[in-house]
Structure 1
Amino acid sequence: MASPFDQSSYQVRFDWGVEGLRRLAASDVVIVVDVIRFGSNVVAAAAVGDHVVLSDAHAVSANGAAVAIAASELAHDPVVVAGALRNAAAVARAVMAEQHARGGRTSIAVIAAGEKGADGVRFAVEDLLGAGAVIAALSDLGIDHSSPEAVSTAESFRALRRAVKHLMTASGSGRELEGDERHADVKAAAAIDDLDVVPVLRDGVFAAL
């Protein structure tokens, strides 16, 4: 029997972390969103032709990497991609191409990594915005049969789009890196659709589609 929380009646689904990925119905495509450390670094590397080994990415950010690893281990073998603010539109176009190639409606799980702590996954505003950007971009292309959870996430991004940079630098994740050389990564990660690249996970390695 389907769970009321698996969002199986919708094409576009949204949840948080590894637990959220497992809670959702099996999806053809899993989009991993961990904006500041994982997603943006993987996207930037793919943009210049570099490959990112998942085990190396795990050392940079265990949160996004953990979701990617869990997705790669699913029995139904979904397509796993890294999404962020920087490549949201490119990811949406790649999903549309995947749907055309399959010749039928393609189900999509957008997973915000959040921040793993002692008490479980902590809400991370940057991952909410990144996931919302991807879902909004999918909707703009007509892939809009979305769960209430996904719709709410997309509309949060639409409403807050102009404030993304401020929200990210002022958030807990941004403030945590104040005084750290990695703080510059926060502003870079706040750019919206400045990279036209989609990193896809194959055999433990992220590389451009």
Structure 2
Amino acid sequence: MFDQSPYRCRVEWGKRGAREAAERGDILIIVDVLSFSSTVITALNYGAIIYPYPPYLDGKNYAKKVGAEYILGRREATEMGKPTLSPVSFQKEHAKKKYVLSSLNGAFCTWIASEVPALLIGSLLNAASVASTANQISCITKANITVVPCGEQWSDGRENEDSLRPAMEDYLGAGAILSNLEGSKSPEAEVCMAAFQNSEGKLEDWIWDCGSGRELREKGFEADVRHCCRLNVYQTVPILQKDHFVAAEGNV
């Protein structure tokens, strides 16, 4: 059986990894660099309130129930001048406003793994801060920590194929966070951390030109890619509180 149990810090991919980590009672750090995690971090940095919601349920109806605005697709929202899954669409004017944010990867993983000691959102933008918060919570709860790079979904998956598309940017984001976590690390976590450490100084170039980066750029969202590949520019750490994210306090 696949198992990283002897180690305090682990890394698991996607929805399956999030579910299994939640069943173990681990602290989870969800990493979806392009762009769910980066969007949530940026939105909370500006004071917005984000409700994660899976894409297969009726997000618009849910938004009405919680008194929030349902975030539209990137293209539609951009044309209407509204915030979207694009992190750079959030600004100071969105402070204290509620938004329901769905995504195939980050929001879905969050939904699956919501019943845990703590669920945090991490990316390159807040790698050091989210690791510090996880370290504090782990010290209090004695729970292990699993970092979950979400990956992407193949758009043309065929019958009996795994739909998960591992994403380089999520792996590097996970490695940046693991580099700041305290305690023993599984071999899987060590390799992930080493990948990040080998990429320092190359992050912007590599993410700009990786498959996910090119995919976004070709759709006209170059600013998102530039924004999301920056390292440790925010101290904001989103933590799930029942059904929405709040910014973790400095002392957990």
Structure 2: how far apart are the matches of 1:97 and 1:69? 23
How far residue 23 of structure 1 moved from its aligned partner, in angstroms, is: 4.1
Q: Could you tell me whether the CA contact under 8 Å between 1:33 and 1:64 is conserved in 2?
A: yes
* Residue of structure 2 equivalent to 1:122: 165
Structure 2: how far apart are the matches of 1:27 and 1:149? 19
Structure 1: how far apart are the matches of 2:134 and 2:17? 20
Matches within 5 A, 1:67-106: 67-72=109-114, 74=115, 77-102=116-141, 105-106=142-143
Q: Could you tell me whether the CA contact under 8 Å between 2:14 and 2:151 is conserved in 1?
A: yes
How far residue 35 of structure 1 moved from its aligned partner, in angstroms, is: 0.4
The alignment's C-alpha RMSD in Å is 1.5
Q: Could you tell me whether the CA contact under 8 Å between 1:71 and 1:78 is conserved in 2?
A: no
* Residue of structure 1 equivalent to 2:236: 197
For 2:101, which of 48, 57, 68 is the aligned residue? 57
Letter in 2 for 1:9: P
Structure 1: how far apart are the matches of 2:101 and 2:190? 29
**TM value normalised by structure 2:** 0.73
Structure 2: how far apart are the matches of 1:101 and 1:21? 22
Gap change, CA 1:197 and 1:111, over 3 Å in 2: same
For 1:108, which of 122, 136, 145 is the aligned residue? 145
Q: How many residues align?
A: 195
Structure 1: how far apart are the matches of 2:146 and 2:138? 14
For residues 22-52 of structure 1, the C-alpha deviation after alignment (integer angstroms, 9 at most, x for no partner) is: 3457143100000011000000111122111
Bigger radius of gyration: 2
Structure 2: how far apart are the matches of 1:154 and 1:48? 29
For residues 146-192 of structure 1, the C-alpha deviation after alignment (integer angstroms, 9 at most, x for no partner) is: 11101100110001111111111101101112243422111100000
Listed as ranges, the gaps of 5+ residues in structure 2 are 54-99
For 1:186, which of 202, 225, 234 is the aligned residue? 225
Letter in 1 for 2:177: V
Asked whether 1:10 is paired with 2:47, we answer no
Matches within 5 A, 1:140-155: 143-155=182-194
Listed as ranges, the gaps of 5+ residues in structure 1 are none
SS at match of 2:121: strand
Moved over 4 A (4+): none
**TM value normalised by structure 1:** 0.88
Percent of aligned pairs with the same amino acid: 35
* Residue of structure 2 equivalent to 1:173: 212
Q: Could you tell me whether the CA contact under 8 Å between 1:27 and 1:108 is conserved in 2?
A: no
Structure 2: how far apart are the matches of 1:71 and 1:39? 15
Q: Could you tell me whether the CA contact under 8 Å between 2:31 and 2:170 is conserved in 1?
A: yes
For 1:32, which of 30, 33, 46 is the aligned residue? 30
Q: Could you tell me whether the CA contact under 8 Å between 1:80 and 1:200 is conserved in 2?
A: yes
